[in-house]
């Protein structure tokens, strides 16, 4: 069963404000923040007061809001303490070399999944996504794996656990298929999900077995090297 965890609504609302920012829009007006978060403007202003105090939000000269330097500090700490890139990137490179398709590593962030590491296919027509992108967790092979191996209930997820992988076709993007496996460390703790994705016309049913074997080899290698 999925574990029930304590929740603090004010914290979740503050995090919703931070997640409203994107690479394309790094400063947002109060009106836009209200539209994206579904929160009242008065609520946003109260939360922003605390976020500003701790450096997570800054107010620009034109009255809009932008992410603050404290997030950079935390990101830098993550790079030095939680970065698995040195272990995962070589495996992604190997998968791309073997399949000529895109390889990715996702982690769960609440009700979303984040593309933590990514190496895109060398082919001109490909499934392209940037590192750091947030996607729904209930659509796509990596999201299904992250849910299944985190105890999500239901026959659909029982089947994924039994097979050890998920194969999605057109769930999030009608043109994309993906195969994903859980990455477990030597203690059996899931650290994320690794996948190969491609145009749906290229990642066919006939390629599932060989692709799963390649992904499993990468998972086995990571299990032995992850701290």
Residue in this structure with the two tokens 């996702």, named with its chain if needed: 106
10-residue stretch averages of pLDDT, the chain, 227 residues long:
62 90 84 93 94 90 88 66 79 96 90 89 81 87 95 93 96 92 91 95 94 97 88
Tokens 């922003």: give the residue: 48
Long-range CB contacts (within 8 A, 24+) of 161-167: 164/212, 164/216, 165/141, 165/212, 165/215, 166/141, 166/142, 167/141, 167/208
**End-to-end Cα separation, the chain, in angstroms:** 27
Please give the model's pTM, rounded to 2 decimal places: 0.69
Strand locations in 34-170, DSSP E?
Answer: 57-59, 65-67, 102-109, 112-119, 134-136, 166-169
Domains annotated for the chain, with CATH where assigned, are 9-76 (1.10.10.10), 84-225 (3.30.450.40)
Q: Which two structure tokens, joined as six digits, stand for 213?
A: 């074997």
Q: Identify each DSSP E strand in 63-175 by its residue range.
A: 65-67, 102-109, 112-119, 134-136, 166-169
Predicted pLDDT of residue 132:
80
The residue count of the chain comes to: 227
Which pLDDT score, from 0 to 100, does residue 1 have? 38
Mention every residue, 6+ apart, whose C-beta is less than 8 A from residue 18.
51, 56, 57, 67, 71
């Amino acid at each position: 069963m999925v574990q029930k965890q304590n929740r603090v609504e004010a914290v979740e609302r503050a995090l919703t404000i931070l997640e409203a920012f994107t690479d394309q829009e790094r400063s947002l007006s109060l009106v836009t923040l209200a539209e994206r978060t579904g929160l009242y403007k008065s609520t946003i202003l109260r939360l922003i007061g605390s976020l500003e105090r701790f450096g997570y939000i800054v107010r620009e000269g034109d009255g809009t809001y932008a992410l603050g330097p404290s997030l950079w500090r935390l990101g830098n700490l993550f790079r030095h303490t939680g970065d698995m890139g040195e272990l995962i990137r070589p495996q992604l490179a190997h998968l791309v070399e073997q399949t000529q398709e895109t390889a990715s590593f996702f982690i769960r962030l609440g009700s979303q999944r984040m593309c933590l590491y990514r190496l895109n296919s060398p082919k001109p027509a490909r499934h392209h996504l940037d590192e750091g992108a947030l996607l729904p967790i209930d659509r796509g092979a990596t999201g299904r794996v992250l849910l299944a191996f985190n105890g999500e209930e239901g026959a659909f997820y029982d089947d994924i656990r039994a097979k050890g992988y998920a194969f999605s076709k057109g769930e999030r993007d009608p043109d994309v298929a993906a195969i994903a496996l859980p990455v477990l460390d030597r203690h059996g703790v899931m650290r994320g999900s690794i996948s190969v994705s491609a145009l749906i016309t290229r990642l066919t049913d006939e390629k599932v077995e060989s692709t799963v074997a390649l992904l499993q080899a990468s998972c086995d290698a990571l299990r032995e090297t992850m701290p």
